């Protein structure tokens, strides 16, 4: 067993439990705690120009998630980062040089205690895999924006697990998006916490923009510490756009000049409708464009044009 990837690979490779294997063979056992109980912590990254973006921040968040659930990955987090970089180096050879990858790192506690006799192994499960970015899911939304519907499905209370835990236990996202699509077929869910404050959208952080206040994110103790939000805060500082954190309620979105959806792969999209009603002018506004242009300059790639180019491939 080696942590060096193969030098020739007819298909994408993946890393799983100290082995480099073809992606098609990467599978987590049905006896794994990640499958049996959904106990999986994960980080999803993307590349720009074949380089992982903000790897150190993702590794730090992964380390914190592992600390929260009390699991030792069995190897240094820096080494998981090196594995991810090697995987990108190999798998990028199989895509267009101008294309980019979505990379997932995950850790579970390993086989569920009740199944140890049949699991055949013990210790944590550690995996890293990639796929070409699914640009078709959002390329058009840079132009039209995203629609959200406030869901009756509540964000998981912090008495269950802290908001800072990045985990794969996401039944609430599934149910919330299902409800949102029943109201509006192309919509995503906006989730409130147990106190009625805005938490996040399914798999994404959210921001609002007021002309007299700047960008506002929900209070930090209510949300996952998003890497994308942190980058937007940096860019806002460079552009002279005020940025603050405070409690938000759903009407704050309806009354905003603009609203943003922030996640790793698309970076940032405008939220142009909430519960069927337009936000601001009902189309992406100047702040989202400024931030997207600043992001593109930072990474040396026009993120909107790249998405349009590869959306149908």
Digit-coded pLDDT (tens) for 150-201: 999 999 999 999 999 999 999 999 999 999 999 999 999 999 999 999 999 9
Q: Is the residue at 2 inside a domain?
A: no
Same domain flag for 209 and 112? no
Residue 140 has pLDDT above 60, yes or no: yes
Which range of residues forms the domain containing residue 21? Answer: 13-133
Same domain for 145 and 110: no
Residues 151, 290 within the same domain: yes
Shared-domain flag, residues 122 and 161: no
Mark whether 148 and 285 lie in a shared domain. yes
* Pairing assessment for the beta strands 243-245 and 214-217 based on DSSP bridges: parallel
Q: Are 170 and 127 found together in one domain?
A: no
| Residue of higher predicted confidence among 312 and 30 | 30
d(CA 197, CA 199): 6
pLDDT at 7 exceeding the cut of 80: no
Taking each continuous run of H as one helix and of E as one strand, the counts in the chain are 10, 15
d(CA 40, CA 33): 8
Say if residue 151 is in the same domain as residue 196: yes
* Residue 244: φ, ψ to 5°: -145, 160
Q: What is the mean pLDDT of the chain?
A: 95
Residues 146 and 264 in one domain: yes
- 261-264-268 Cα angle (round to 5): 35
Cα dist. 226→2, 61, 63 in Å? Answer: 33, 9, 15
User: How crowded is residue 275: how many other Cβ atoms within 10 Å of its Cβ?
Assistant: 16
Amino acid 2: pLDDT: 44
Q: Is 149 inside a domain boundary?
A: yes
Ordered alpha helix ranges (H), the chain: 33-36, 55-69, 77-91, 116-119, 141-144, 171-183, 227-239, 250-254, 286-299, 303-310
- Given a cut of 70, whether residue 3 has pLDDT beyond it is no
Confidence of residue 122 (pLDDT cuts 50, 70, 90): confident
- Please report, for the domain that includes residue 250, its CATH number: 3.20.10.10
Q: Label residue 4 by pLDDT band (50, 70, 90).
A: confident
The lowest-confidence range among 9-13, 80-84, 116-120, 220-224 is 116-120
* CATH number of the domain to which 63 belongs: 3.30.470.10
Percent of the chain with pLDDT over 70: 97
The CA distance from 149 to 2, in Å, is 47
Separation in Å, CA 304 to CA 152, 220, 272, 294, 310:
33, 29, 17, 12, 10
| Domain assignment of residue 251, yes or no | yes
Contact partners, residue 182, CB within 8 Å, separation at least 6: none
- Rounding to the nearest 10 degrees, give the CA dihedral for residues 285, 55, 61, 135: 40
Please check whether residue 50 is in contact with residue 100, taking contact to mean a CB–CB distance below 8 angstroms: yes
Domain count, the chain: 2
Q: How far apart are CA 15 and CA 35, in angstroms?
A: 18
258 has pLDDT over 90: yes
């Amino acid at each position: 067993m080696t942590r060096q990837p193969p030098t020739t690979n007819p298909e994408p490779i993946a890393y799983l439990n100290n082995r480099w294997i073809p992606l098609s063979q990467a599978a987590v056992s049905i006896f794994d705690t990640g499958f049996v109980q959904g106990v999986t912590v994960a980080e999803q990254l993307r590349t720009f120009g074949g380089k992982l973006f903000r790897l150190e921040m993702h590794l730090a968040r992964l380390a914190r998630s592992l600390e929260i659930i009390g699991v030792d990955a069995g190897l240094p987090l820096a080494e998981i980062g090196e594995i991810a970089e090697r995987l990108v180096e190999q798998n990028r050879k199989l895509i267009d040089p101008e294309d980019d990858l979505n990379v997932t790192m995950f850790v579970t506690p390993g086989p569920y205690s009740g199944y140890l006799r049949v699991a055949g192994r013990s210790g944590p499960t550690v995996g890293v895999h990639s796929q070409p970015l699914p640009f078709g899911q959002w390329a058009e939304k840079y132009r039209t924006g995203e629609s959200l519907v406030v869901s009756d499905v509540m964000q998981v209370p912090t008495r269950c697990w802290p908001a800072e835990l990045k985990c794969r236990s996401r039944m609430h996202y599934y149910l919330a998006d299902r409800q949102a699509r029943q109201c509006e077929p192309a919509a995503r869910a906006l989730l409130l916490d147990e106190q009625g404050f805005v938490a996040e959208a399914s798999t994404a952080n959210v921001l609002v923009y007021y002309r007299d206040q700047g960008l506002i994110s929900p209070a930090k103790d209510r949300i996952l510490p998003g890497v994308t939000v942190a980058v937007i805060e940096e860019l806002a500082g460079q552009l002279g756009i005020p940025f603050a954190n405070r409690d938000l309620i759903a009407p704050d979105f309806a009354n905003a000049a603009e609203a943003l959806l922030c996640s790793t792969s698309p970076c940032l999209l405008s939220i142009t409708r909430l519960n069927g009603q337009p936000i601001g002018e009902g189309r992406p506004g100047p702040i989202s464009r400024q931030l997207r242009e600043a992001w593109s300059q930072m990474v040396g790639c026009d993120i909107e044009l790249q998405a349009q180019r590869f959306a149908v491939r």
